[in-house]
């Protein structure tokens, strides 16, 4: 049982880690509180599932999900930069619109994919033709590892290009990067598109992994993503981009693992998880402030005042 639980946590940590990397781009790199996530994650699932059920190749379907996510991010960015709507509200508007759009795309609240081909079933079939002894229980694990390595490498590399540097500076000091000739509206939109493309990719993969797309599957995605980013940051810090994104993935695994622990020891019901996650994020966000005021109180005591 333990082995199975660990395997599931690693699988989920990896596939949701792609989503967390997207959240890392907006929250950490761009300093943009993007709430589109709760809409773009199920958007990816909706697009992929509908296309697969409609007879399209799962690869085309997954690619289409990535593009749809990029478009959703573009819209949030456009609302924020051209429309001068605050980042929070722009994200909420996109997320809310996407709820209706996702229902339109799917035509019903839930699409099962049980007897449909997926990118995983196709690749597994191909591999088994070459290596008949392939341990199929590790298909997801191996494929997720490969996909995550590709995504992480691409993201790390992107953040070291001229455009990537400009993006990081946009989140860090927009005044400075404008005075270096960069259009910060453009960098924001690019960052949001990239982020939501990754999040939709994660949604498309999760739908094919769990065997269905559901219109409600996005609720709380942002909080799970934030939890992963925060746990990663707390554990490994930001010595370099490579380490930071690795931390996000590790945070995503730890997050999924602790959830399985809580559930298997019946410490809480599955329906309590969103509340628990929110509490973890609240704790992580306020901890630095707690520490500070605690230190201040202590030094006040030492100062005798």
Site residues for other proteins per CB under 8 A: 158, 160-166, 168-169, 172-173, 175-184, 238
Identity of the residue, 106 or 182, whose beta carbon is nearer to other proteins in the bound complex:
182
Q: How far is the CB of 134 from other proteins (least distance, A)?
A: 36
Identity of the residue, 74 or 158, whose beta carbon is nearer to other proteins in the bound complex:
158
Asked whether 76 and 22 are in contact (CB, 8 A), the reply is no
Q: How far is the CB of 54 from other proteins (least distance, A)?
A: 34
Q: How far is the CB of 30 from other proteins (least distance, A)?
A: 12
Identity of the residue, 180 or 271, whose beta carbon is nearer to other proteins in the bound complex:
180
Asked whether 89 and 33 are in contact (CB, 8 A), the reply is no
Q: How far is the CB of 169 from other proteins (least distance, A)?
A: 4
Q: How far is the CB of 29 from other proteins (least distance, A)?
A: 10
Rounded Cα distance, 68 and 91, in Å: 15
Rounded Cα distance, 87 and 81, in Å: 9
Identity of the residue, 16 or 24, whose beta carbon is nearer to other proteins in the bound complex:
24
Q: What are the DSSP calls for 125-152, one per residue?
A: HHHHHH-TT--GGGHHHHHHHHHHHHHH
Identity of the residue, 238 or 272, whose beta carbon is nearer to other proteins in the bound complex:
238
**234 phi, psi to nearest 5 deg:** -65, -35
Written as six digits, the tokens of 297 are 């109180």
Asked whether 32 and 188 are in contact (CB, 8 A), the reply is yes
């Amino acid at each position: 049982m333990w082995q199975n639980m660990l395997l599931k946590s690693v699988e989920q940590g990896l596939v949701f880690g792609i989503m967390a990397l997207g959240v890392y781009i907006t929250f950490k790199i761009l300093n943009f509180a993007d709430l589109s996530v709760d809409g773009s994650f199920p958007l990816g699932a909706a697009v992929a599932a509908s296309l697969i059920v409609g007879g399209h190749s799962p690869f085309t379907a997954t690619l289409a999900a990535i593009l749809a996510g990029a478009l959703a991010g573009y819209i949030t960015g456009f609302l924020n930069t051209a429309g001068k709507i605050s980042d929070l509200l722009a994200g909420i508007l996109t997320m809310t619109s996407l709820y209706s759009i996702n229902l339109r795309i799917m035509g019903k609240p839930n699409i099962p994919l049980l007897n449909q081909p997926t990118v995983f079933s196709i690749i597994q079939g191909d591999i088994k033709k070459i290596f008949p002894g392939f341990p199929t229980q590790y298909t997801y694990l191996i494929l997720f590892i490969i996909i995550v390595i590709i995504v992480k490498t691409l993201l790390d590399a992107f953040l070291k290009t001229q455009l990537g540097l400009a993006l990081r500076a946009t989140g860090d000091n927009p005044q400075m990067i404008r005075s270096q000739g960069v259009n910060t509206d453009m960098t924001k939109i690019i960052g949001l598109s990239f982020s939501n493309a990754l999040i939709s990719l994660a949604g498309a993969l999760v739908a094919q992994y769990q065997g269905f797309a559901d219109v409600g599957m996005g609720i709380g995605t942002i909080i799970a993503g934030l939890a992963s980013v925060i746990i990663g940051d707390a554990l490994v810090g930001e010595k370099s981009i490579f380490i930071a994104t690795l931390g996000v993935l590790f945070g995503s695994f730890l997050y999924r693992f602790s959830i399985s622990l809580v559930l298997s020891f019946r410490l809480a019901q599955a329906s309590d998880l969103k509340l628990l996650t929110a509490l973890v994020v609240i704790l992580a966000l306020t901890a630095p402030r707690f520490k500070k005021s605690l230190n201040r109180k202590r030094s006040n005591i030492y100062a005798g005042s």
